[in-house]
Amino acid sequence: MPRQETNSPMIHRINRRAFLAAAGTTGVALPFLEGLPEKSAFAQTGGNKPVFGFFISAANGVAQQYGQEPERFWPTQLGALTKSGMEAFKNDRATGILSDYAEHLLIIRGVKLPLAGPTGCGHAQGLAQCLTAKPPTGNGNGATSTGPSVDTVIANAVNSQGTSPLTLYSGAKGGFIDDRLSFSDAGKVRAGEGNPYNVYNRMVGLIDSGTGQPSPTANLLLKRRKSVNDLIHDQIQRLQSNPKLSKADKERLQLHFDSIRDIEDTMAEMGGEMTGCSGSLLDMDALESVNDGNAFKQNDNFEKVIRLHGELVGLTFACNLNRVAVMQVGDGTDGTQYVIDGQKRERFHHISHRINSDGNSGTPIAGAAELHAKIDRIRITTVKEILDKWAQYSTPDGPLLDNGFLYWTTHVAVGPSHSMSNMPLIIAGKAGGAFKTGQYIDGKNAEIGQVLTGVLRAYGIQSNFNANGPLAGMLNG
């Protein structure tokens, strides 16, 4: 099996970006404030305009045209994407759900992975190459990468202090094909953090990145049963009344702390369900026990965890704590049981096979292709919810969606065949104007390395990524 990198997938401790000296142990990072640049995370970056990218790889392909199964995923025609045009097909094609973000979308069809057909079950092979753009080694559930993934290349180039990519995971890790997406080097996989509680705690400095143990502030919050915002209430009030802050600064600051509160409230609900912690936001005893049958792993919270991770990534980007994040959605053979039309259905992996089996033979699942299409709609709706949150954030250079991007794909293209040709690719966000958005283009059987090279160009990284150059038509200029 692949080696697993043990370094923390989260950001380094952020005391130097702390809120005020009096709240330094809390480590709450600030958005960029033009009136107080010395207190802003963005003040500590270089002169380049920051670009932020979040890579998501889901499982089991999409309900695109396959044999006698009709098309239910891609837009209806190549070319310009408009809100009205996408609304016209949103009831029939999953991508239409993103119509509100048409001008920010770059949807690419006709792209394949280097190993376009599996030599075993294919799931681990797809995961190990969809962000590395190199053929994997091995087959079955032991397949792994032959090089680093693109998030590593980006982090090494643009993150400060050697900060690793923010590496996340959604769902239970069943032990068959768990983490297999983000690689620091050939065969060296990073473990993704599955618990949004831990992501949040590290973000605000409540878990020491060196020891992995709760900080003194975490215990203080626990005793007081308070939010981070409550703990530093006086400092917040003083900062908001600072005459150096413009109206825009104050609005940005209020949104920042409102977002922290919203995330805490949602996770508090989940915490009550999974730990019996009586609504305490930061019950450290409960957080230490979440690896054993707790709610963030549970089937019914699967999409909620994805959304929470996405919201936390947006906050991370808005604070410039990390410029690249990656999330594996489900294990390689994602067995989530979705509730469709009020009924909990078969395991998703079985639905993707169209039979009641993880293998090649089993009893047919009636209407499996339609069920797969409805699961796609659930998944893309979650993507939209993440974008809705991101749309509320800004950076010094404008809205987050203008300066960042969300990259969504699956590690196989089609469930029944496990083909890795015509991979689903949705990029939402303009990356500082680098991406030529508002369009649906055909990659004409290009390999994924050309797309990922284009992503590197968006970051200002001029090296190619296992390709001769970026995909034609995806970049401006």
Q: What is the pLDDT of residue 162?
A: 77
Asked if residues 194 and 230 have their Cβ atoms less than 8 Å apart, the reply is no
Q: How far is CA 176 from CA 36, 125, 143, 301, in A?
A: 50, 13, 11, 21
pLDDT at residue 5 tops 90: no
CA angle 398–403–407, rounded 5-degree value:
145
Q: Cα–chain-centroid distance for residue 390?
A: 12
Task: Identify the CA nearest to 64 among candidates 381, 445, 413.
Answer: 413
Q: Specify the amino acid at residue 460.
A: G
pLDDT at residue 88 tops 50: yes
Assign 101 a pLDDT band (cuts: 50, 70, 90): very high
Q: What is the pLDDT of residue 419?
A: 95
pLDDT at residue 19 tops 80: no
Q: Specify the amino acid at residue 263.
A: I
What's phi and psi for 54, nearest 5 deg? Answer: -120, 110
* Segment 418-450, tens digit of pLDDT: 999 999 999 999 999 999 999 999 999 999 999
- The pTM score is 0.81
Count Cβ atoms below 10 Å from residue 284 Cβ, excluding itself.
20
Output the average pLDDT for the chain. 82
Higher pLDDT: 409 or 35? It is 409
* Segment 357-375, tens digit of pLDDT: 998 899 999 999 999 999 9
% residues pLDDT > 90 (the chain) = 57
Task: Break the chain down into helix, strand, coil percent, rounded to 5.
Answer: 40, 15, 45
* Segment 181-202, tens digit of pLDDT: 999 999 999 999 998 878 877 7
* Segment 254-287, tens digit of pLDDT: 777 776 666 656 554 544 332 221 223 233 333 3
Residue 170 pairs with which residues in a beta bridge? 329
173-179: long-range pairs with CB below 8 Å, 24+: 173/297, 173/331, 174/331, 174/333, 174/335, 176/141, 176/331, 176/332, 176/333, 177/123, 177/124, 177/127, 177/141, 177/331, 177/332, 177/333, 178/331, 178/332, 179/4, 179/328
Q: What is the pLDDT of residue 25?
A: 35
Assign 295 a pLDDT band (cuts: 50, 70, 90): confident
pLDDT at residue 156 tops 50: yes
Q: What is the pLDDT of residue 20?
A: 31
Q: Specify the amino acid at residue 268.
A: A
CA angle 41–42–43, rounded 5-degree value:
90
Task: Identify the CA nearest to 55 among candidates 378, 468, 470, 456.
Answer: 456
Which segment of 101-110, 259-268, 305-314, 326-335 scores lowest on mean pLDDT? 259-268
Q: What is the pLDDT of residue 87?
A: 99
Task: Identify the CA nearest to 111 among candidates 455, 446, 462.
Answer: 446
Assign 32 a pLDDT band (cuts: 50, 70, 90): low
Q: What is the pLDDT of residue 477?
A: 83
Q: What is the pLDDT of residue 304?
A: 86
User: Residue 386 is inside which H or E element, if any?
Assistant: helix 368-390
Q: What is the pLDDT of residue 49?
A: 82
Asked if residues 400 and 318 have their Cβ atoms less than 8 Å apart, the reply is yes
% residues pLDDT > 70 (the chain) = 76
Which segment of 63-67, 172-176, 281-285, 412-416 scores lowest on mean pLDDT? 281-285
Annotate 289-349 with DSSP letters as a single string: TTTTT-GGGSGGGHHHHHHHHHHHHHHHHHTTS-SEEEEEES-TT-----EETTEE-S-HH
Q: What is the pLDDT of residue 243?
A: 85
Q: What is the pLDDT of residue 277?
A: 18
pLDDT at residue 218 tops 70: no
Asked if residues 29 and 322 have their Cβ atoms less than 8 Å apart, the reply is no
Helix locations, 241-297, DSSP H: 247-275, 284-288
pLDDT at residue 21 tops 60: no
Q: How far is CA 445 from CA 76, 379, 449, in A?
A: 19, 25, 12
CA atoms within 13 A on the CB side of 384: 16
What's phi and psi for 128, nearest 5 deg? Answer: -75, -10
Assign 12 a pLDDT band (cuts: 50, 70, 90): very low
* Segment 37-77, tens digit of pLDDT: 544 555 544 456 899 999 999 999 999 999 999 999 999 99
Asked if residues 313 and 401 have their Cβ atoms less than 8 Å apart, the reply is no
Higher pLDDT: 291 or 54? It is 54
Rounded to 10 deg, the angle between the 302-318 and 196-203 helix axes is 10
Token pair, residue 171, equals: 């769902």
Which segment of 76-90, 197-211, 378-392 scores lowest on mean pLDDT? 197-211
Q: What is the pLDDT of residue 186?
A: 98
Token pair, residue 277, equals: 């912690």
What's phi and psi for 225, nearest 5 deg? Answer: 55, 50
Assign 247 a pLDDT band (cuts: 50, 70, 90): confident
Token pair, residue 144, equals: 């792994």
SS3 state of residue 148: coil
Task: Identify the CA nearest to 101 among candidates 402, 456, 442.
Answer: 402
Q: What is the pLDDT of residue 377?
A: 99
What single DSSP character describes residue 144?
A: B
Which segment of 104-118, 271-285, 318-332, 420-434 scores lowest on mean pLDDT? 271-285
SS3 state of residue 42: helix
Q: How far is CA 289 from CA 215, 271, 274, in A?
A: 17, 11, 10
Helix locations, 137-246, DSSP H: 150-158, 196-203, 216-224, 228-231, 233-240
Q: What is the pLDDT of residue 205?
A: 61
Taking residues 26-33, report their average pLDDT.
Answer: 51
Assign 240 a pLDDT band (cuts: 50, 70, 90): confident
Asked if residues 190 and 164 have their Cβ atoms less than 8 Å apart, the reply is yes
Q: Specify the amino acid at residue 222.
A: L
- Residue given tokens 């995806």 in the structure block: 474
